[in-house]
């Protein structure tokens, strides 16, 4: 095995900070599941017949599944946007950490991304008028791309 010293270790301050920021953005993403559930109850809009089975509609009849409630769909779009952005950030972040970036530069990336994505969620759910959401999206997007470039460059674009 072609092994060597490891950046994914508790002695590496870059990795330790990455763990905290990755946990923050991943738990935030997971929290969207709870937000979706709460919004489904608030609007009595469930996707599956077995979910709505225990409830009555406003005419006293059996509640039917609802797939297009605007409030629920907004939370779900926000959740999907997190999957599209947060998961690539954590994956690219792991590779980036393994390439031993300078601590100050790494912290800047992690903080910018986490801040932008927390703000993105607030802006999406309020909702704040555009271009607020576009801006928070692009800060997170650019931060991840910068880490991706840095990691690929560090390995000399080995293919």
Please answer whether residues 89 and 26 qualify as being in contact, where contact means their C-beta atoms are separated by less than 8 angstroms. no
Smaller CB separation from a copy of itself, 119 or 151: 151
Query: Does residue 159 interact with a copy of itself by CB under 8 A?
Result: yes
What would the DSSP string read from start to end of 11-41? T-HHHHHHHHHHHHHHHHHHHHHHHHHHHHH
What is the spatial distance between Cα 2 and Cα 26, in angstroms, rounded to a whole number? 32
Site string for a copy of itself, 121-140 (x = CB under 8 A): ------xxxx--x---x---
What is the spatial distance between Cα 93 and Cα 110, in angstroms, rounded to a whole number? 8
Instruction: Give the footprint of a copy of itself on residues 35-94 (CB under 8 A).
Output: 47-51, 53-54, 67-68, 73-74, 77, 79, 83-85, 87-88, 90-92, 94
Q: How far is the CB of 125 from a copy of itself (least distance, A)?
A: 11
Site string for a copy of itself, 139-158 (x = CB under 8 A): --x--xx--xx-xx-xxxxx
Tokens of 95: 């590779």
Instruction: Give the footprint of a copy of itself on residues 90-119 (CB under 8 A).
Output: 90-92, 94-95, 98-100, 111
Smaller CB separation from a copy of itself, 57 or 145: 145
What is the spatial distance between Cα 137 and Cα 113, in angstroms, rounded to a whole number? 9
């Amino acid at each position: 095995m072609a092994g060597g010293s490891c950046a994914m270790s508790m002695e590496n301050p870059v990795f330790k900070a990455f763990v905290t920021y990755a946990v923050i953005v991943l738990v935030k993403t997971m929290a969207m599941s709870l937000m979706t559930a709460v919004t489904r109850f608030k609007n009595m809009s469930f996707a599956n017949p077995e979910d709505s089975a225990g409830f009555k509609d406003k005419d006293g009849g059996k509640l039917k599944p609802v797939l297009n409630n605007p409030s629920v769909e907004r939370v779900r779009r926000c959740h999907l946007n997190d999957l599209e952005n947060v998961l690539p950030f954590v994956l690219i972040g792991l590779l980036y950490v393994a390439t031993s970036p300078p601590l100050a530069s790494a912290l800047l990336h992690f903080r910018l991304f986490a801040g932008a994505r927390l703000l993105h969620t607030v802006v999406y759910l309020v909702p704040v008028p555009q271009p607020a959401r576009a801006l928070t999206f692009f800060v997170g997007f650019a931060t991840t791309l910068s880490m991706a470039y840095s990691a690929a460059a560090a390995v000399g674009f080995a293919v």
